[in-house]
Amino acid sequence: MEDCIFCRIAQGEMDAKILYSDEEVVAFQDINPQAPVHFLVIPRKHLHSAFQLGEEDQHLLYKIFHVIREISREKGIDQEGVRILTNVAPGAGQSVFHLHFHALGGRRMLWPPG
Ligand code: AMP
């Protein structure tokens, strides 16, 4: 989608600190990190949110979680704990309308979240 900033990052048209990229998914540093480690993993396919996932996207979900695990290992946070989340709709905090999973670590996570 032309006016989607995450599509533009995936297509290399907008700068981001890319951590991983292949034909299906892209991972990059969050521009406004909320923890010492905070990165995002997105499908290249434009989906508005997790609620647009279809049965045909099962592999994509596996892939996204696999990439999160591998980057978490590389960053040395996989053992101590990683908060993985996706916001659906503005009321939950979604501000970019291209499906993305946050992965946060490197500090103690609180529950409940704000
Ligand atoms: P959400 O509010 O759950 O939709 O998350 C959107 C996330 O995208 C926020 O954590 C932002 O800091 C992050 N973000 C927005 N624009 C960019 C960008 N150009 N590069 C990297 N991260 C971004």
- Is the pLDDT at 1 greater than 90? The verdict is no
Residue nearest atom 23 of ligand 1, based on CA coordinates: 31
pLDDT in tens, 3-43: 999 999 999 999 999 999 999 999 999 999 999 999 999 99
> pLDDT value at position 114?
79
Ligand 1 near 30 CB (within 6 A): yes
Q: Is the pLDDT of residue 106 over 90?
A: yes
pLDDT tens digit sequence for 36-70: 999 999 999 999 999 999 999 999 999 999 999 99
Provide the 8-state DSSP code for 34: S
Contact, 7 vs 14, CB < 8 A?
no
Say if residues 7 and 46 touch (Cβ distance below 8 Å): yes
Tell me which residue of 47, 105, 97 sits closest to 71, measured CA to CA: 105
Q: Taking 90 as the threshold, does the pLDDT of residue 2 lie above it?
A: no
- Ligand 1 contact, 31 CB (< 6 A): yes
User: Is the beta carbon of 88 within 6 A of some atom in ligand 1?
Assistant: no
